[in-house]
């Protein structure tokens, strides 16, 4: 029985229908819009109780993760974790519904990127499923000359993205669906970088592919699989690579930008080692921000399950 449960928990993240979690979010959004945030939270927790009770896989994943960050409070901790996820979803809806207070968003380390945009130079931003990634997209729409393209795989959450599109069609404008990085897409991204645009890619989820190219890196006390795509892409595009983390701070939000490398080089003879070093550097920064906001990391699956990966394949 334990082996069956473990196998189920190890399913790829893309097979999880995250839209099922937001089935009642349209009603909750209405509650928040009409009555405010606290009434929203009062109505929210019965929904969370139902979801946690009916989603054992996500519940176990949350519990194991919280134990790693020292926040293991049983069902209470899991409810708070899912509550933070619901708050992030609400913020996305408020953001694209025109009800979000951007004055409460603090930018940290953004000056070099804004200067690059002014000079017409682009960069690769490696993000994480931490906090509210949509902040960077919305800020780009509010900042003249700043253009951002986010590489996503959202086919498992079509209902939720359709809901955002009804709130504001612009929510879909700067998304690019991607399952694997082919030559044609690499050329498109290179053209965007050359025009001074910024490309955002997740650094904390295994690619949607039959043979995902990953490397292992220490993260929260154990090795986990991290994609090599961001580092291969940065080397191919010949641009600087930054990490980006967006989390809550008090009654507002903070978006942190951190330079990872001015330029990424992958020597043929030590390519595997270089990729592992880059992934470990990113994982260390991710761990730093996850520990600062432990309830805001939203990967509700067995993140530490190591897929069958040939290390030489990752070095190709």
Tell me the whole-structure pTM to 2 decimals: 0.83
**37 band by pLDDT with thresholds 50, 70 and 90:** confident
pLDDT of residue 309: 47
What would the mean pLDDT of 162-174 be, rounded to a whole number? 56
**Cα separation, 200 vs 198, whole angstroms:** 7
Q: Which regions of the chain does DSSP assign to beta strands (E)? A: 105-108, 123-127, 148-152, 175-177, 198-202, 214-219, 222-227, 241-249, 252-261
Nearest-CA neighbor of 139 among 254, 37, 299? 254
- Please enumerate in sequence order all residues whose Cβ is within 8 A of that of 288, keeping only pairs 6 or more positions apart, or say none: none
- pLDDT at 20 > cutoff 60: no
Computed on alpha carbons and rounded to an integer, the radius of gyration of the chain in Å comes to: 19
Positive or negative, the CA dihedral 307, 151, 132, 79 is: negative
pLDDT of residue 272: 93
pLDDT of residue 283: 98
**153 band by pLDDT with thresholds 50, 70 and 90:** low
**186 band by pLDDT with thresholds 50, 70 and 90:** confident
Q: pLDDT digit string (tens) for 95-106? A: 777 778 888 888
Domain count within the chain: 1
- pLDDT at 164 > cutoff 70: no
**8 band by pLDDT with thresholds 50, 70 and 90:** very low
Q: pLDDT digit string (tens) for 249-295? A: 888 899 999 999 999 999 989 999 999 999 999 999 999 999 999 99
Contact (CB, 8 A) for 226 and 236:
no
In a domain, 314, yes or no: no
In a domain, 137, yes or no: yes
Q: pLDDT digit string (tens) for 43-94? A: 888 888 888 888 888 899 999 999 999 988 888 999 999 999 888 888 887 8
In a domain, 284, yes or no: yes
In a domain, 143, yes or no: yes
Backbone phi and psi for residue 38, each to the nearest 5 degrees, phi listed first: -65, -45
What would the mean pLDDT of 296-301 be, rounded to a whole number? 91
Tokens of 23: 């089935």
Q: Of residues 96 and 147, which shows the higher confidence score?
A: 147
In a domain, 248, yes or no: yes
**38 band by pLDDT with thresholds 50, 70 and 90:** confident
Contact (CB, 8 A) for 24 and 165:
no
- pLDDT at 313 > cutoff 50: no
As a whole number, the mean pLDDT across the chain is 80
- pLDDT at 301 > cutoff 90: no
Q: What percent of the chain has pLDDT over 70?
A: 78
Nearest-CA neighbor of 142 among 120, 164, 166, 110? 110
In a domain, 48, yes or no: yes
pLDDT of residue 168: 54
pLDDT of residue 36: 78
pLDDT of residue 33: 79
3-state secondary structure of 127: strand
Backbone phi and psi for residue 109, each to the nearest 5 degrees, phi listed first: 80, 15
Nearest-CA neighbor of 277 among 261, 289, 288, 292? 261
Q: pLDDT digit string (tens) for 204-223? A: 988 666 677 899 999 999 99
Q: What is the span of the domain harbouring residue 167?
A: 2-302
Tokens of 64: 């194991």
In a domain, 312, yes or no: no
In a domain, 309, yes or no: no
Tokens of 107: 């930018």
| % helix, strand, coil for the chain, step of 5 | 55, 20, 30
């Amino acid at each position: 029985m334990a082996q069956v449960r473990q196998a189920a928990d190890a399913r790829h993240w893309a097979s999880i229908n995250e839209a099922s979690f937001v089935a009642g979010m349209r009603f909750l959004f209405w509650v928040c819009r009409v009555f405010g945030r606290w009434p929203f939270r009062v109505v929210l927790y019965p929904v969370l109780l139902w979801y946690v009770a009916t989603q054992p896989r996500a519940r176990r994943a949350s519990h194991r993760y919280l134990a790693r960050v020292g926040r293991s409070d049983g069902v209470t901790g899991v409810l708070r974790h899912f509550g933070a996820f619901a708050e992030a979803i609400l913020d996305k809806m408020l953001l694209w519904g025109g009800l979000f207070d951007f004055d409460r968003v603090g930018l940290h380390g953004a000056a070099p990127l804004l200067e690059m945009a002014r000079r017409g130079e682009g960069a690769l931003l490696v993000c994480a499923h931490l906090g509210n990634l949509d902040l960077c997209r919305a800020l780009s729409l509010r900042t003249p000359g700043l253009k951002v393209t986010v590489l996503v795989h959202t086919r498992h959450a079509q209902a939720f993205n359709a809901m955002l599109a009804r709130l504001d069609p612009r929510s879909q404008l700067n998304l690019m669906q991607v399952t694997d990085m082919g030559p044609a897409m690499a050329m498109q991204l290179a053209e965007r970088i050359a025009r001074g645009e910024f490309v955002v890619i997740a650094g904390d989820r295994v690619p949607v592919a039959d043979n995902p190219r990953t490397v292992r890196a220490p993260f929260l006390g154990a090795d986990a699989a991290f994609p090599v795509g961001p580092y291969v892409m940065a080397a191919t595009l010949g641009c600087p690579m930054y990490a980006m983390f967006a989390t809550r701070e008090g009654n507002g939000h903070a978006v942190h930008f951190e330079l990872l490398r001015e330029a990424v080089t992958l020597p043929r003879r030590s390519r595997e080692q270089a990729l592992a070093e880059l992934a470990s550097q990113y994982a260390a920064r991710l761990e730093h921000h996850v520990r600062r906001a432990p309830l805001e990391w939203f990967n509700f699956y067995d993140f530490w399950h190591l897929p069958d990966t040939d290390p030489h394949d990752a070095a190709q």
